[in-house]
Amino acid sequence: MYYSQGENRRKRWYHLLSIGHTKLLVLAGLLVFSIITVLTVLLTYTVRAMKYDLERVVTGGSVSTLYDCDNKPVVPLSGEDVLPVRWEELPRNLVNAFVAREDESFFEHNGVVYSSVLRSVLRNVASFSYEQGASTITMQLTRNVYEMSEKTMDRKLLEAMLAQRIERRFDKHTILTQYLNRIYFGQNCYGIAAAAKRYFGKHVMELNLVECATLAGLVRAPSLCNPISDMDNAMGVKRETLGRMLAMDFISQEEHDNAVAEPIVLAESSAAERPVASYVTMWARRELDELRDELGENIGGISVVSNLNLSLQQRVELAMERALVAVEKPNSFPEEWLPILNENPEEAQRLRKFFEGIKRPADMKVRDGNDLKDVLQCCVLVVDSRRNNRGRVLAQVSGRSAVDGRDRWQEMCHPGNAAAPLLYVCACLPGGDNTHIVARKADVTGQSLGYEVVSSLYRKLGLRMELPARENEMALYRGEFNIARLDLARALFDIQNQGNGYLFKLISRVWSRGGNLIYTHAPEKTQEFIRREAASAVAKIPPFELTEGEPTVLNETLPNNHGTFCMVSNDKGVAVFVWMGFDNPALLPQGTRMAALMKRAAYCLAKELHTEARTLLRARASAEREKNKS
């Protein structure tokens, strides 16, 4: 009995080590199937990768270009006038910093680190998401060149195959150089040459260890970690990069310690926004920054199609300077203003005498060449208000010269009575005991509504404002608080357009370097900014001036010497906004009639440009109809 049991146990133990013919066949079949599957996948992605033109790796720049509404090139948007660098110009510390930070085995692998890819795949499969990329520098270059932005395993496999093709075709020096010439470094800088000049005012060859580590550290989050926008983050990524360089023996302990302790010193011009070629360039760059998340970081060489009407833009710039000269100098009344007053010749003559008769202050500074400090300034904004086009910026200027780098539409002013329509909107909102109480004076209406009601609505509108405290509530009702000029214009525009929240947009479409449409602005897709009923009611009462058959006008002298603000607008047409004044309100001459002169000049300028814009839009629409017929 005992012997029999022992024999049975030995058979069962032996059986555990025996796989059997059936199981062996199953495992062999699974192994063959896996090999065939892997080979099929590799063959499929190899064939797909063969369809891509490798010459794109070494061709195609990173300079972006702005076009007008007729697809005519207007100006480059690259940010810096620099040429791509060559391998011989790259400092050793810069190469080592990027290798240590981005791809430690760059000079050893064939484009793909298989252990990293496998680890990435397992982690992504385990999490049922795309958490880890395992990208080498070559794979990052591939993604940039061929615009592979989607985060999928399909893209990752194709990217890996392309990276290996690139490695077989080009040497490591070429790959790293092309990578550095293309990637985004923040502050509208594409490529290492633009970044070196923007941040440090240097050629790439002149960068020191601290600067190399800083630039290598910021590329993963260029908008957050560049030293202009956030010095603390920049110092942090610099330390991380230096630590990795030390671990790889690229630098000594002494070099590491000295560089960690050394501050990041920016070029003097980097502390503020650099001068740009034009105000249009400045506006376009600001919008591109706002679209950064949607467009992605690696979008050098894009084509930006704008709503800009180049002919109108040129007329705006000339007309604005004529208007400013008419205010500064006697006997300089613009003849271009006469046609807008032809229906009343007597009024035209009175206006001419008014401009020619007012004595200008002897100490008022007048523009003399490029010396624009403390001179009279002006902003102009022309916005489309036609159906399906509302909010499109057709032309704009933000001062007398973009050399100073100031966008005055983004700066603050005291709106005074120009903000009264916002106050009246509060009174026209349903609910409460003070519904529809609109007095002729804004401060009376404000007192009836109360500080909490008015300030609450203003905050909900999301405009850039600096509201006064409760103890100074009369300043709130009188418009003696700060608001961005552009936001004031936008609020008035929206009230005139049934309360819909239209954002003023210069950019219409963005095309990638490879010719793919990556952004389209849809102006009609907007939420209600102010209740329609309230906006419609307020749009018909002062300070808006309505004359039958004429555009709506708002023309107000701003309090505390903040200049004058004018709007000339018509529904389903064009809106023109003009601000005129001094950057420093204290410079407005006291005891003179300069404020009245500025108010009339702003109105005449806005009316002239409104007429010009409508004429151009009508001609354009007519030409498009004729084109469609043919």
SS3 466: strand
Rounded Cα distance, 612 and 600, in Å: 18
pLDDT classification of 151: cutoffs 50, 70, 90: low
Per DSSP bridges, beta strands 303-306 and 65-67 are: parallel
- Lowest-pLDDT choice from 576-580, 585-589, 606-610: 585-589
CA atoms of 295 and 302, how far apart (whole Å): 10
What's the N-to-C CA distance of the chain in angstroms? 107
Mean pLDDT, range 45-54, rounded to an integer: 78
622, burial (CB in 10 Å: exposed 0-12, middle 13-18, buried 19+): exposed
Per-residue pLDDT, averaged over 197-210, amounts to 94
Q: Per-residue pLDDT tens for 430-469?
A: 655 545 567 778 888 999 899 999 999 999 988 999 999 9
Residue showing tokens 């590491």 = 256
Q: What is the pTM of this model?
A: 0.75
Least confident residue range of 112-126, 193-207, 276-290: 112-126
> With bands split at pLDDT 50, 70 and 90, how would you rate the model's confidence at 167?
very high
In a 3-state reduction of DSSP, which class is residue 88? Answer: helix
Q: Alpha-carbon distance 121 to 130, whole Å?
A: 9
Check if the beta carbon of residue 434 is closer than 8 Å to that of residue 423.
Answer: no
Lowest mean pLDDT among 13-27, 63-77, 586-600: 13-27
> Please, is 267 exposed, middle or buried when counting C-beta atoms within 10 Å of its C-beta (0-12, 13-18, 19+)?
middle
pLDDT reported for residue 24? 73
Distance between CA 163 and CA 140 in Å, rounded?
A: 9
Q: Output the six-digit token pair for 247.
A: 């671990």
Residue 60: predicted pLDDT: 64
**Dist. CA 281–CA 210, nearest whole Å:** 31
Q: What is the pLDDT of residues 471-528, one digit of tens each?
A: 999 999 999 999 999 999 999 999 999 889 899 999 999 988 777 888 898 876 677 8
Please state, in angstroms and rounded to a whole number, the distance separating the CA atoms of residues 295 and 340: 44
Give Cα separations from 532 to 105, 355, 499, 501 (angstroms): 62, 41, 5, 11
Mean pLDDT of 562-588: 93
SS3 of 549-607: CCCEEEEEECCCCCCEEEEEECCCCEEEEEEEECCCHHHCCCCCCHHHHHHHHHHHHHH
Determine the residue type at 435.
Answer: T
Evaluate the omega torsion of the peptide bond into residue 543 and state whether it is cis, within 30 degrees of 0: yes
Distances (CA, A) of 219 to 185, 186, 216: 6, 8, 6
User: According to the model, what pLDDT value does residue 122 have?
Assistant: 60
Q: Are 412 and 485 in contact (CB under 8 A)?
A: yes
Are 98 and 104 in contact, with CB atoms under 8 Å apart? no
pLDDT band at 57 (very low <50, low <70, confident <90, very high): confident
Instruction: Please name the residue ranges forming H helices in 358-463.
Output: 420-428, 442-449, 451-461
What is the pLDDT at residue 256? 96
Percent of the chain with pLDDT over 70: 86
CA neighbor of 140 nearest in space, from 98, 108, 168: 98
In eight-state DSSP terms, residue 514 is T
pLDDT digits (tens, 9 = 90+) for 549-564: 889 999 999 999 999 9
Asked if 521 contacts 505 with a C-beta cutoff of 8 angstroms, the reply is yes
HEC-encoded secondary structure of 519-542: EECCCCCCCECCCHHHHHHHCCCC
Q: Say which amino acid occupies 444.
A: V
pLDDT at 44 over 90: no
183 or 39, which is more confident? 183
Q: Give Cβ neighbours of residue 127 (< 8 Å, ≥ 6 apart).
A: none
Q: Quick one: DSSP state of residue 484?
A: E
Tokens linked to 280: 């249009």
- Quick one: which H or E segment has residue 98? helix 92-102
Residue 156 identity: K
**For residue 458, which amino acid is it?**
Y
**Predicted pLDDT of residue 1:** 43
For all residues of the chain together, what is the average pLDDT? Answer: 84
Write down the pLDDT at residue 269.
59
The proportion of the chain whose per-residue pLDDT surpasses 90, expressed as a percent, equals 45
Query: Which residues have C-beta within 8 Å of that of residue 309, sequence separation ≥ 6?
Result: 68, 69, 394, 395, 613, 616, 617, 620
State mean pLDDT over 276-289. 82
In whole angstroms, give the CA distance from residue 468 to residue 474: 9
For residue 5, pLDDT beyond 70: no
Alpha helices in 399-531 (DSSP H): 420-428, 442-449, 451-461, 473-477, 485-496
512 CB-near residues (< 8 Å, 6+ apart): 147, 299, 301, 302, 518
Comparison of pLDDT for 239 and 294, the residue scoring more: 239
Does the structure show a pLDDT above 70 at 577?
Answer: yes
* Helix, strand, coil share of the chain (percent; to 5): 50, 10, 35
User: pLDDT band at 299, cuts 50/70/90?
Assistant: low
Tell me, what's the pLDDT at 19? 59
In 3D space, the residue among 190, 271, 167, 193 whose CA is nearest the CA of residue 229 turns out to be 271
The answer to whether 155 and 45 have CB atoms below 8 angstroms apart is no
| 226-230, 351-355, 561-565, 625-629: segment of lowest average pLDDT | 625-629
Decide: 564 and 581 in contact? Cβ < 8 Å.
yes
Mean pLDDT in residue range 263-268: 90
- CA gap 569, 306 in Å, rounded: 22
Mean per-residue pLDDT for 202-209?
94
Is-contact 199 227, C-beta < 8 A? Answer: yes
Instruction: Note whether 529 and 421 are within 8 A (CB).
Output: no
Rounded to whole angstroms, how far apart are CA atoms 222 and 215? 9
Per-residue confidence (pLDDT) for residue 296, from 0 to 100: 67
Q: Which tens digit of pLDDT belongs to each residue from 367-390?
A: 877 778 889 999 999 999 998 899
